[in-house]
Amino acid sequence: MKALIVCIIGLAAWALPSFGVSKPVCPEGTSDFVPIFDGKTLKGWHVSSKTGHGTGGKWVVQDGAIVGSQDKPGNGGIVITDEKYGDFEVALEMGNDYGPDSGLFLRSTEDGRCYQAMIDYHNNGNVMGVYGEGIGGFAARNYRTFGDPDQIVVVDYKPFPCPFTPEEWKTLWKAQPAWNSLRARITGNPPTIHTWINGVKIMEWTDTERRLPDRGGIALQVHGGGDFTKQFVRYRNVRVRRLDVPDNTLGPGEKAAGWQLLFDGRTLDGWKTDKMQDSKTPVEDGCINPHGCGGYMMVPEKQYGDFILSLDFKISNGCNSGIFVRTYPLTPKPGADVGYNGLEMQLLDSTGAGMHDTGALYDLVAPCRSAMKPAGEWNHAVITCDGPKIIVELNGEQVSRMNLDEWPQPDLRPDGSKHKFTGTAWKDHPRRGYIGLQDHGSPCWFKNIKLLPLGAKHEQR
């Protein structure tokens, strides 16, 4: 029935979507999510026979997807994770037949009570609204489907108005056999829930009371009733990012996936300034603050080539800082600082979306929009370096990206305009180097600094 789903956009999601939605759309950023479905088996999942929709239905793995249906007319149910989750984001792709009622269950109990992101992919249904499954039957939705998958009717929902028109929906939604990316986030108790379809935020809703325990399973549903024995729901690329893991630690899923913790929250072991000296600024409340460190930036002592870097940062009022990747060498060029030797994700106390605003690849690529939170609030950033591809994600949105192989001319962007980095073409820039946290004259705090190497040939040295 109704469910909340999160989509996973991997490294192949390179081009920005061409949705006709009135607000700028950035691709979703889920590079640091951990798979909870292996694409081959239902290991880590089980069918529950305790819901009001039947004894479970039929669940199999086919072509890399979890496929569900009624096993006999009217008999549905859920498949639910063995593990329980508290605050988290979940992302997946959905390829359901038009007709069966389904849903993504958040903090589900074994008997199916949950907050559900609706996947009512049928006439008079809704995808990614919020429904109280077994906890009051409330529904928060700002549109409903009508007649066929390409048609919707906008519903007056003042807390979060529908972000698209019926005509824009036809571009946003991908009819079968295409797959749609869905994502959901649940935090707090009473919870706040956010949902997205193909990178477009669909709903933001906050409950007024506690209805469920702080933790529960993630479940997928085949609704009971009717006869849907020959129509199917399909889900693949199911991933999760825990939001309740203690700071500066790795969760079990991260450890299993090969993530490395670069900062322990207590010491600066393994960190130096770019001059390879100890920092003059100690750890502050479990954070690295490079301001006053005695160098241009703080760097881990090891170099990295292809990787995914995940971290949280908070800036002060008026702050200008940056996160550098593949910085090499640490010896500045004549007349320049060491920042000219690496790629920088700009951090700035601004709300713009220019070449020098937060999320930009500094002076090279502007973000598709501003996804920055105000000074004093924590932001989550993910930077992927994969061969020539550089992807920047900010607060769950892919805001900028570049392909170094498309930058063959020194001093010039691919469109022929000039940038400030002179000398070497970015195509020829070293493909490994140091990660750096910049001191540009203002306090800026970093925590939960984690790295996933991409491929054995790019392991750090």
Question: The pTM is what?
Answer: 0.83
Mean pLDDT for the stretch of residues 440-459: 86
pLDDT for residue 170: 94
Does 252-458 match 34-242 at the fold level? yes
Measured between alpha carbons, how far is residue 379 from residues 166, 250, 394 in Å? 33, 18, 7
DSSP 97: P
Any bridge partners for residue 105, and if so which? 116, 219
pLDDT bin (cut points 50, 70, 90) of residue 456 is low
pLDDT for residue 176: 82
Share of the chain above pLDDT 90, in %: 85
Q: What is the mean pLDDT of the chain?
A: 91
pLDDT for residue 11: 32
pLDDT for residue 115: 98
Superfamily of domain 34-242: Exo-inulinase; domain 1 (2.60.120.560)
pLDDT of 7 > 60? The answer is no
pLDDT of 116 > 90? The answer is yes
Q: Tokens 């906008």: give the residue.
A: 154
Residue ranges of the domains in the chain? Answer: 34-242, 252-458
Pairing mode of beta strands 434-438, 320-327:
antiparallel
Measured between alpha carbons, how far is residue 212 from residues 46, 217, 439 in Å? 21, 12, 44
Pairing mode of beta strands 389-394, 379-386:
antiparallel
pLDDT of 12 > 60? The answer is no
- Listed in sequence order, the DSSP H helices in 44-129 are none
Pairing mode of beta strands 127-133, 114-120:
antiparallel
pLDDT of 2 > 50? The answer is no
CA distance 50 to 52: 7
Specify whether domain 252-458 bears CATH 2.60.120.560: yes
Across 148-224, the runs of DSSP E, i.e. the strands, are 148-154, 180-187, 192-197, 200-206, 217-222
pLDDT for residue 175: 85
pLDDT for residue 25: 53
pLDDT for residue 22: 37
On the 0-12 / 13-18 / 19+ scale of CB atoms within 10 A, 62 is exposed
Tell me if 321 sits within 8 A of 381, measured CB to CB.
Answer: no
Q: What is the pLDDT of residues 331-381, one digit of tens each?
A: 999 999 999 999 999 999 999 999 999 999 999 999 999 999 999 999 999
Q: What is the pLDDT of residues 232-253, one digit of tens each?
A: 999 999 999 999 899 999 998 8
pLDDT for residue 252: 86
Three-state SS for 244-302 is CCCCCCCCHHHHHHCCEECCCCCCCCCEEECCCCCCCCCCECCEECCCCCCCCEEEECC
pLDDT of 28 > 90? The answer is no
Residue 169's H or E segment, with its range, is helix 166-172
